[in-house]
Amino acid sequence: MTTATNLVEALANPSAGEVEQLDAWWRANNYLTVGQIYLKANPLLREPLTAEHIKPRLLGHWGTSPGLSLIYAHVSRLIRHTGQQAIYLAGPGHGGPALVAAGYLEGTYSEVYPHVSRDEPGMLRLFRQFSSPGGIPSHVSVTTPGSIHEGGELGYVLVHAFGAVMDNPDLLAVAVVGDGEAETGPLEGSWKGVSFLNPARDGAVLPILHLNGAKIAGPTVLARKDPAEVRSLLQGHGYDLIEVEGADLPGMHYRFAAALAQAWGRIRDIQQTARGDGWDGSRPRWPLIVLRSPKGWTGPEQVDGVQVTGSWRSHQVPLSGVRDNPDHLAILERWLRSYRPQELFDEAGAPSALVAGLAPDGDLRMSASPHANGGLLTRPLDLPDFRKYAVDVPQPAQLPAESTRRLGEMLRDVYAGNPDRFRLFCPDETNSNRLGAVFEVSDRAFMEKVTPDDVAISRDGRVMEVLSEHNCHGWLEGYTLTGRHGMFATYEAFAMVSASQTVQHGKWLQEAGHLPWRARVPSLNILLTSTAWRNDHNGFSHQGPGLIQIVLTQRGDIARVYLPPDANTLLSVADHCLRSRSYINLIVIDKQPQPQWLTMDEAVAHCARGAGIWQWAGTDDGSSDPDIVLACAGDIVTMETVAAAQILKQRLPQMRVRVVNVVDLMTLPRPKDHPHGMSPTLFTELFTDTVDVVFAFHGYPGAIHQLVHGRPDADRFRVRGFVEEGTTTTPFDMTVRNRTSRYHLVMDAINNAKRLPRGATELKAWCERKLAEHEAYIVEHLEDMPEVRDWTLTAR
């Protein structure tokens, strides 16, 4: 303890030499940042600066960068003193050049990208590649070593940080929150991560709220609020505040070093207490640093008579006229030389010994942390045999079952078998979604007060429930990007709340796939249940299959959409997804009791193909083209399709009807449009080349139209699906309102069949009568539908 206390003491009081080193590293970083924004030649300023040295197009964000690099320098020193494993998340990720420069100064950048060497030619490449076509993006991105967080779309730095440290007891995630980002809803909703973080089992997040005063075009709320209110707000979120303010040097180095030492000491105390015997289990007050330093600090104070430093004017490129305006050029040269590059880089252009010496060793460098390249640390899940959760299906549709309940049993055993690397994330709906079996082996995580009446909730729980899709999604992203596995289960409609996170994470995974040094990470598995079709009890706001539409816009490298129609197909799909890497896997299935169609062996075969003919459901003997194909993707519409086929079989037996079920939606596009796209031969085997297809789809009909584009005579696909008709009603009425009921499908089949057997007109009239009866039934305000209660199929 004394040694540890001495360590904090030493950390808090850097020697003059240490401050000199910190400042040199910081100046080197700032120099490289400005160089990346402006220079295409003369990287070490060996000659006087001229317009020819300046890039023709000036891109990048200066304002936040000096703050980001100051923090980086000090955390690096902390790591060298303590051996702490740490990663760095830059909320203001548009400060990309600062983080790129950090990796470069630490040597990691040149290890990953050898052509960007630690010498003058390498430095020039570093500058020229920045924000250049064929180079690197202007934001912290997947190309930045050490990053798991882009910070382009603001709001997620804390959720990523919390996700990263769950089940990662030795990791510290330093998360810089910009005061612009701090205005977003997702960020404000993410401070509460501490209410779910167990200091005994999880690592620590150190948020650093960097109040530099302004965003793109004006001041921020937190920067201009009474500081006492800011203090009250963050204390209310559960943090212990440590505040550092100023722009004086070297004073700020001393004060920030002391603040960081204090924060780290507090974290160490919290963890030691929690990991010892004497912990009372209460939620600790984690430290949080508020750093108030000027935006664009160390840059030009004023330009053309107006204030730049400390103002929104320094957000991007504070001097925009350098190629044409000699005054601006002179200011830029003074600015660059103010960092005294000759002290920072040696003759060859490599960082000087003083600068390079700040970096921790090897993997302890934050830019080299394997936690930030989580695929390196990924251990496959120890998965149970999914077949053992199978529903027994002697005949199709004989016994209804809640499919997701079987998945819950499987997930229970995944939890049990992987206590250090699997978590389920769900907005308060684990039980509602019938996944509650997981509570047999793990409680919900909760660090606030628990009462004796509570059920399955404790500080030791590892099921993550918080009424925030943003938190759930973001935590899972942080968890998987650091190499662990999980699933986000949510109401289908409210998956749209975090749709932009699905989009952004997809972009990350897509780009990561192009970088050989990035190891593949576990997939982001999203289970959509409580679907549009069965939110009959909650009404229209809960009815929307929009996320499918979003995932369809993502590239085939990463996007997968599965619509298992029953429990056994769900289990097979889930097993596949939990083994996969670097995908967005969307699985859509409802939680209510539903008919079960396939034995486990059949399900496995069906999922392996992704789509297939259900011969038992139709009247097509396969000898030639049928009169009509009834296709379906999604559980409820599969039920309606099989029912429609059954009606046709009974009442129009001469008609040859083929039933095709699609589990893997991405088998529909052409192979050149998606790697899962089925071959032309298989497509023709299922759908023929000329017979009309009545396709009942779980989501919006347009999705199928876009997927089958380019397939033979794609116009023959007549798609029924969710068309935004909903309310609180009966399950069957949902299919009627959206014109996807069995009766609609029968009429569609008759209207589009190649041959029309005798009796077809009568059958259409019968369907119309059935729908009219349904309408009458609804008008009479009855509350449950016999079509659902009495659902049976005769036989295979």
Instruction: Considering only residues 474 through 493, tell me which ones interact with a second copy, judged by CB under 8 A.
Output: 493
Report the residue from 284, 544, 595, 634 that binds a second copy according to the rule CB under 8 A.
544
Contacts of 607 (CB under 8 A, 6+ apart): 564, 569, 572, 573, 576, 663, 664
126 binds a second copy (CB under 8 A): no
Which residues inside 695-754 make contact with a second copy, applying CB under 8 A? 700-703, 705-707, 709-710, 713-715, 719, 723-724, 726-730, 733
How far, in Å, CA of 720 to CA of 295, rounded?
A: 55
By C-beta, is 133 or 516 nearer to a second copy? 133
Q: Which stretch binds a second copy (CB under 8 A): 507-515, 520-528, 566-574, 687-695?
A: 507-515
Report the residue from 7, 41, 45, 135 that binds a second copy according to the rule CB under 8 A.
135
Report the residue from 83, 121, 219, 653 that binds a second copy according to the rule CB under 8 A.
219
Both tokens of 304, joined, read 């053309």
Which residues inside 409-468 make contact with a second copy, applying CB under 8 A? 428-432, 444, 446, 448-451, 453-457, 465-468
By C-beta, is 477 or 575 nearer to a second copy? 477
Which residues inside 79-108 make contact with a second copy, applying CB under 8 A? 94
Minimum Å gap between C-beta 420 and a second copy is 24
By C-beta, is 619 or 738 nearer to a second copy? 738
Distances (CA, A) of 570 to 24, 389, 594, 596: 57, 11, 13, 11
Minimum Å gap between C-beta 447 and a second copy is 9
Q: Which among 64, 106, 194 is positioned nearest to 372, based on CA atoms?
A: 106
Q: Which stretch binds a second copy (CB under 8 A): 202-210, 257-265, 273-281, 775-783?
A: 775-783
Phi-psi label, residue 744: left if phi above 0, alpha if psi -120 to 50, beta otherwise? alpha
By C-beta, is 18 or 429 nearer to a second copy? 429
370-392 in b/e burial notation, b at 16+ Cβ within 10 A? Answer: ebbbbbbbbeebebbebeebbbe
128 binds a second copy (CB under 8 A): yes
Which residues inside 159-218 make contact with a second copy, applying CB under 8 A? 180-181, 183-192, 195, 215-218
By C-beta, is 235 or 650 nearer to a second copy? 235
Reported as type and span, the H/E element at residue 792 is none
516 binds a second copy (CB under 8 A): no
Minimum Å gap between C-beta 572 and a second copy is 28
561 binds a second copy (CB under 8 A): no
Which residues inside 653-692 make contact with a second copy, applying CB under 8 A? none
DSSP bridge partners of 658: 629
DSSP bridge partners of 206: 174
Contacts of 741 (CB under 8 A, 6+ apart): 640, 732, 735, 771
139 binds a second copy (CB under 8 A): yes
In the structure, how many helices (H) and strands (E) does the chain have?
27, 22
Q: Report the relative pairing of strands 693-697 and 628-633 from DSSP bridges.
A: parallel
Exposed/middle/buried for 425, CB within 10 Å: 0-12, 13-18, 19+? Answer: buried
Q: Are 397 and 642 in contact (CB under 8 A)?
A: yes
Minimum Å gap between C-beta 550 and a second copy is 6
Minimum Å gap between C-beta 106 and a second copy is 23
314 binds a second copy (CB under 8 A): no
Beta sheet of 485-491, edge-to-edge order: 464-465, 422-426, 485-491, 524-529, 584-588, 559-562
- Total residues interacting with a second copy, rule: CB under 8 A: 133
129 binds a second copy (CB under 8 A): yes
DSSP per residue, 748-775: HHHHH-SS--TTHHHHHHHHHHHHHHHH
120 binds a second copy (CB under 8 A): no
Minimum Å gap between C-beta 161 and a second copy is 15
By C-beta, is 23 or 465 nearer to a second copy? 465
> Looking at residue 713, what DSSP letter applies?
T
Minimum Å gap between C-beta 781 and a second copy is 5
Given the structure tokens 């960020």, which residue do they identify? Answer: 187
Report the residue from 484, 507, 560, 676 that binds a second copy according to the rule CB under 8 A.
507
783 binds a second copy (CB under 8 A): yes
Neighbours of 59 (CB within 10 A): 15
Q: Which stretch binds a second copy (CB under 8 A): 267-275, 347-355, 407-415, 781-789?
A: 781-789
Q: Report the relative pairing of strands 85-90 and 171-178 from DSSP bridges.
A: parallel
By C-beta, is 595 or 699 nearer to a second copy? 699
33 binds a second copy (CB under 8 A): no
Q: Are 141 and 150 in contact (CB under 8 A)?
A: yes
Both tokens of 232, joined, read 């009250």
